[in-house]
Every structure is written in C-alpha cells, then in structure tokens.
C-alpha cells in the first residue's frame, strides 16, 4: 500500500457520514491549530469518544454509556472506516479480557484500577453498573479541564449520576464513596508530568496494600520517555502487587510507520516513546526494567487472531464487511498491548492468557 493511502491512524478519522463503510487514539475532530501541544493532546480524547461511539452504533461493542460523551449533530457523523472500527473492537476486547481476568482473580478481596489519561473512557461506568461488582477502587487521572468536564457530565446526566452517586469535589479532583458494595471512584485532575517529579504529591485515595492494575491507553506515549518511566516508577515504588497494561503504536521506521509519524506531525503531536520502544521486544524490556517480573505483549493483529473466537469473528465480519484486508493487517500490526505483573492477584494472567 502506498504511503498516501495509509489512513491517519492517530486521529482515527476517515468518517463517511451516511455511507456504509465507515475507530480511539487516546485519541471526532482534531484540533489541528491548537494553541499548544497539551490542548492538542486533550483534543484526542474527542477522537477517542467518537471512535468508541462508531463501534457501538454499528454493533461491534455494547456500551450504553458511550452516547453521553459524544455530540451528535448529524446522524451517521460519528461513523469510522471499517478497519478503524475493527481496531477499536480488538483493542477494547483485549483490555476487557485482561481486566476481567484480574477482577475474577481478586473477586473475594479489595482491588484497584488506576487509569492514566482516562479522558471520557466509560469503563468505570460499565464495571460499576454490574450488580455483583464489589470492593473495586477505580481511579482516573487526566488534565484538570478533562476531569472537570467529566464531573459536569456526571452531574448533568441521570444515567451517570445513578452510578457515581453524590460526588464530592475539590477543584478538579472529585470522588464518590457512595457506590455499591464498597466500591469507590476517584478522579484526579492533574498533569501526569507532575507524577514524574521527585516531589510528586501522593494522590488521594490510592491504596498501596491491594492488587492494582495500572492502565495506559495511548497515554504515556505522549510524555518524554524519561517522564513516562518516572510515572510508572511512582507506582512501582509504592505498590508491591501491581500490573500494568500499555496500549501504544509501534514500528515507526517502516513505510507504514513513517506515514503514522507524518500524520502525527501534521497534527503537531509527538510520541517520544514510539522511538524509544519501537517493537514488542523493547516494550517488554521496558516493563522488565520497570520492575515487573512477568511480561507479555500482543499486537492488535495477534489479539484478533488468538483472542477472538471464530464465531465472534464471523459476527464482526457481518457488520460491515472488510474490503481493506491489507490495510487492516498493517494497521493491526502497528499497535501493541504490552502487559506485565508482579505479586499476588494476577493468577489468571499466568494461567489463561
């Protein structure tokens, strides 16, 4: 495939409003002329929400909460290209499987999830809406503007407010302990780079004595490599029973990857870790060096082939059809889910993944 025909994988655009063929970077509408890099990165959260909504609308995913985080002035305007919808599906399936396995392994005890750069992610609502969910402490960290906006949405929308009840706020930080079965929710409105500082302040509500999963979906990749390492270190130094899930692009140096980087540059976006960890081996090494005893990784292509049952593949294939098979294979092999763990609470990761 020639470079000009490679889709802009990071903005995940290519919508075809009103047509049949139609994915989250952290990332709808790109803020190409954003006044500063932080504003541009915050804008990728809109891309994420639109990609999720596209996959839900077309039947790839079930998510009753996605609709509340997307403005939809035109019917069909949130539709993405089929390969992007499939990528969103595969990426969501991978994280859901890892998180579900973690929660199953720790069902009889308190456990914790910390989502970096969570933005408008809806996973917390989906988990807390499960009647049997108990003892889960869920943290989300993002820029103050995004945290504040999420609080406004929760307060304004009954379906969200019924899940995260009576939120208490202080500036851009807010939380709720009024959830079912001892669950808690914390939203921290801070710049992640503050966690990379030597004098970083502890985050309210973080438990260091229970099994914890740290999630970075296209988040740490926006930081300078040293800052990304220090953010992870902030948690590895404090939490002994810890796992991490990282979803990021890889392979920037082949022709497809070079076009990805070009697409990023056109949006005034840099991903420093893309050069530092360009392949699966480097991604696994970073987790080993960060202190995780066991590590693994799969590309989105691997996840589609190995983690999606044949019957489910047939269902997904029937939703739109996929003419761009070559493009899909290239796209899927340029994104990776890397994960590592140590300590107790991850039994199913060791035995079933």
What pLDDT was estimated at residue 246?
A: 99
Residue 126 has pLDDT above 50, yes or no: yes
Work out how many domains the chain is built from and give that number.
1
Q: Please give the pLDDT value at position 18.
A: 35
pLDDT per residue over 240-289, tens digit each?
999 999 999 999 999 999 999 999 899 889 999 999 999 999 999 999 99
| pLDDT class of 73 with cuts at 50, 70, 90 | low
Looking at the chain, the whole-number percentage of residues with pLDDT higher than 70 is 88
pLDDT at 76: 57
H helical segments located in the chain:
37-57, 82-105, 123-128, 144-156, 158-161, 225-236, 255-266, 272-276, 280-289, 300-307, 310-320, 325-332, 347-352
Q: How far is CA 58 from CA 53, 79, 177, in A?
A: 9, 8, 35
**pLDDT score, position 259:** 95
CATH of the domain at 208: 3.40.50.150
Mean pLDDT is highest, among 17-31, 200-214, 313-327, for 200-214
Residue 143 has pLDDT above 80, yes or no: yes
pLDDT of 343 higher than 50: yes
* pLDDT confidence of residue 80: 92
Residues 109 and 11: their CA atoms lie apart, in Å, by: 39
The residue range of the domain holding 189 is 3-352
The pTM assigned to this predicted structure is: 0.89
- Mean residue pLDDT of the chain comes to 89
- Rounded to an integer, the average pLDDT of 225-237 is 98
Mean pLDDT of 168-194: 94
Q: Which of 25, 293, 235 is nearest to 112 (CA)?
A: 235
């Amino acid at each position: 495939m020639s470079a000009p025909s490679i889709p802009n994988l990071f903005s995940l655009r290519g919508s075809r409003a009103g047509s049949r063929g139609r994915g989250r970077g952290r990332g709808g509408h790109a803020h190409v002329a954003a006044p500063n890099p932080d504003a541009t990165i915050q804008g990728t959260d809109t891309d994420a929400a639109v990609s999720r909504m596209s996959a839900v609308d077309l039947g790839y995913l079930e998510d009753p909460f996605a609709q509340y985080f997307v403005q939809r002035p035109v019917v069909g305007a949130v539709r993405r290209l089929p390969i992007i919808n499939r990528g969103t599906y595969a990426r969501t399936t991978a994280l859901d499987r890892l998180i579900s396995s973690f929660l199953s392994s720790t069902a009889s005890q308190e456990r914790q999830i910390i989502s970096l750069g969570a933005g408008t992610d809806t996973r917390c609502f989906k988990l807390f809406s499960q009647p049997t969910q108990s003892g889960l402490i869920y943290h989300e960290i993002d820029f103050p503007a995004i945290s504040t906006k999420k609080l406004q949405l929760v307060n304004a929308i009954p379906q969200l407010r019924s899940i995260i009840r009576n939120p208490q706020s202080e500036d851009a930080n807010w939380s709720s302990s009024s959830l079912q079965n001892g669950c808690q929710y914390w939203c921290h409105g801070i710049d992640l780079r503050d966690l990379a500082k030597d004098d970083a302040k502890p985050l309210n509500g973080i438990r260091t004595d229970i099994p914890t999963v740290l999630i970075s979906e296209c988040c740490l990749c926006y930081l300078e490599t040293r800052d990304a390492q220090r953010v992870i270190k902030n948690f590895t130094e404090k939490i002994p029973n810890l796992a991490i899930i990282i979803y990021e692009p890889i392979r920037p140096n082949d022709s497809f990857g070079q076009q990805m980087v070009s697409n990023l540059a056109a949006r005034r976006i840099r991903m420093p870790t893309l050069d530092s960890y360009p392949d699966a081996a480097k991604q696994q090494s970073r987790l080993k060096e960060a202190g995780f005893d066991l590590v693994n990784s799969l590309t989105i292509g691997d996840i589609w082939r190995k983690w999606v049952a044949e019957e489910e593949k047939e269902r997904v294939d029937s939703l739109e059809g996929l003419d761009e098979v070559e493009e899909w294979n290239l796209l899927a092999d340029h994104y990776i889910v890397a994960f590592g763990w140590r300590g107790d609470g991850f039994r199913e990761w060791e035995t079933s993944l």
